[in-house]
Amino acid sequence: MLYDKARIWVQAGGGGDGCLSFRREAHVPHGGPDGGDGGHGGDVVVICDDALRDLQSFKRRAHYKARRAPHGEGAQRHGAAGPPLEIRVPPGTHLTSWDGSTHDLLIAGQRVVVARGGAGGRGNKRFATSTRQAPRLAEKGLPGEEGWIDLRLKLLADVGLVGLPNAGKSSLLARMTRAAPKVAAYPFTTLEPVLGTLEGAERQLVIADIPGLIEGASKGAGLGHDFLAHVERTRLLVHVLDLAPVDGSDPLENHATIEAELRAHDRRLAQLPRLLALSKADLVAPEEAERVAAQWRERLGDEVAVFVTSAATGQGLEELSLQLARQVPLLPAPEDAISLDDVPAAEHRVFRPAAGRNFSVERDDDGVFRVAGDGVERLLLRHDLDNDEALAHVENRLRRMGVISALEAQGFEPGDDVEIAGVMFELHPG
């Protein structure tokens, strides 16, 4: 069974804590601070691996957590960076992160960092100054990013066979390639896309048998979006149309139904090059098959080639294969790399915008001041507020960031309760 969808939870490693340490050796009075920094937490990286074909491995495991970085130690020993956690996915995987960002992994070796590890905390050696020679504070490491990742596999096929259920797509694929799809005389025999390779004289083509579509598929009816998505990666579509539907339906209406669903799903699909394969020609008289083919050629014009085919007898399959090899466009060649040595240097200026106010201050009815903002919250996460020296350092940073003046504008007075990042404390700015 082809697994083309998965949802996983990823968590990057947290940063290591900085070390609070002082050099203590014999005959070395006043050794001073020597606490090392914590390491950077491990990232979570998604890698495109050509050895994989579906997302089956994620059905057995849905949670991925990178290792936390080691803490800093005395004697200025810094913690090592945490190793990245690598998650491998097959080519054609579309990735949607919890923050709405999307990535397409198409080429083997392509890498995407989906969750970044937390920064390591600084040891007390980093806080030593000429006026503060024995700092008794160190930073904590920050947690890594975490959240849900949606994975969706969209098959990388050159040609997609589309049509109503039981139109003969699987039989055509089995006869033209070495694929072995399930074939039976009832609709929805194919419940998952099947790939086959068409061997040509000069090139190979990958053909995908997209399971049968019905009216309303673009809105989720039948197999719906589960398999319409696989058509998005193809570069040419072969519309397989039954010459003699067993249910007595009108082939013209059947053709219009599939084309309408493709347009409704993605406007780009309506612009893909097309071929029309009139299947099961062995079930009708040759004269009737040619008469119907002539009508379709007149109806569709010169832009869409029409072939009369039969998987049972092989009629028209060689001509169809040659046309596919001619009509499927080749991938564009990569542009020549431009050497930076050939580009003349230009005079330029670097403008660095001043840091804006990236926090908000609100006062609740109970008199508590709540401060929200990424930078302010990271500051609180890094320090132990039970440490008087660390609290003084935090208050000094809050003043430099403009938080104290913003609080005072809201009526703050020294000793009032302030809540930042879920931590409630009394603030006494000096």
Distance (Å, rounded) from C-alpha 160 to C-alpha 278? 15
In 3D space, the residue among 18, 33, 20 whose CA is nearest the CA of residue 132 turns out to be: 33
Buried b (16+ CB within 10 A) or exposed e, 384-416: eeeeebbbebbbebbeebebbebbeeeebeeeb
| Number of Cβ within a 10 Å radius of residue 135 | 21
d(CA 286, CA 254): 22
Residues 69, 133, single domain; the answer is: yes
Whole-angstrom Cα distance, residue 383 to residue 368? Answer: 21
pLDDT at position 195 is: 72
Is 135 found in the same domain as 23?
yes
In a domain, 347, yes or no: no
Q: What is residue 333's predicted lDDT score, i.e. its pLDDT?
A: 40
pLDDT of residue 430: 64
Indicate whether 109 belongs to any domain: yes
Alpha-carbon span 111 to 96, nearest angstrom: 14
Task: Give CA–CA dist 361/216, Å, rounded.
Answer: 50
Q: Residue 33 gets which letter from DSSP?
A: B
**Residue 266 included in any domain:** yes
Structural tokens at position 269: 């699909």
In this structure, the answer to whether residues 166 and 306 fall within a common structural domain is yes
pLDDT tens string, the chain, 430 residues long: the values are 557 789 999 999 999 999 999 988 777 777 789 999 999 999 999 999 887 777 888 888 999 999 999 999 998 899 999 999 999 998 888 999 999 999 988 888 899 999 999 999 999 999 998 888 889 989 999 999 999 999 988 766 788 888 887 778 888 888 887 655 544 444 444 445 677 778 776 677 778 887 655 444 444 444 444 556 666 677 888 999 888 777 777 888 888 888 887 777 777 777 888 899 998 898 889 999 999 999 999 998 888 899 999 988 989 999 998 888 888 876 544 444 334 454 444 555 666 555 556 788 888 877 788 888 888 888 888 888 888 888 888 888 888 888 888 888 888 888 888 888 778 877 777 6
Instruction: Say how many domains are in the chain.
Output: 3
Within 10 Å of residue 314's Cβ, how many Cβ atoms? 12
Asked whether residue 128 falls in the same domain as residue 145, the answer is yes
Q: What is the pLDDT of residue 367?
A: 79
Supply the pTM of this predicted model: 0.65
- Are residue 195 and residue 93 in the same domain, yes or no? no
Report yes or no on 386 lying in a domain: yes
Q: Which of 153, 179, 203 is the last residue of a domain?
A: 153
Domain stop point among 130, 153, 176: 153
Instruction: Identify residue 115 by its one-letter amino acid code.
Output: A
In a domain, 298, yes or no: yes
- Residue 137 CA to residue 127 CA, distance in Å, equals 8
Q: Which CATH number goes with the domain that contains 133?
A: 2.70.210.12
Look at residue 222 in the predicted model and tell me its pLDDT.
Answer: 40
DSSP symbols for 377-388:
HHHHHHS-TTSH
17 and 102 co-located in one domain: yes
Q: Both 226 and 138 in a single domain? A: no
Q: Which domain holds residue 311?
A: 159-327
- Residue at 38 is within a domain: yes
Q: Which of 327, 350, 379 is the last residue of a domain?
A: 327
What's the CATH number where 201 sits?
A: 3.40.50.300
Q: Which runs of E-coded beta strand occur in 154-216?
A: 159-162, 194-199, 204-209
Instruction: Please check whether residues 38 and 169 belong to one and the same domain.
Output: no
Whether residues 172 and 319 share a domain: the answer is: yes
- 345 inside domain: no
Quick check: helix, strand or coil at residue 106?
A: coil
Residues 321 and 367 in one domain: no
CA distance 177 to 155: 17
Residue 59 lies in a domain: yes
Strand partners, 85: 44
CATH number of the domain within which 369 lies: 3.30.300.350
- The reply to whether 388 and 313 lie within a common domain is no
Residues 215 and 163 in one domain: yes
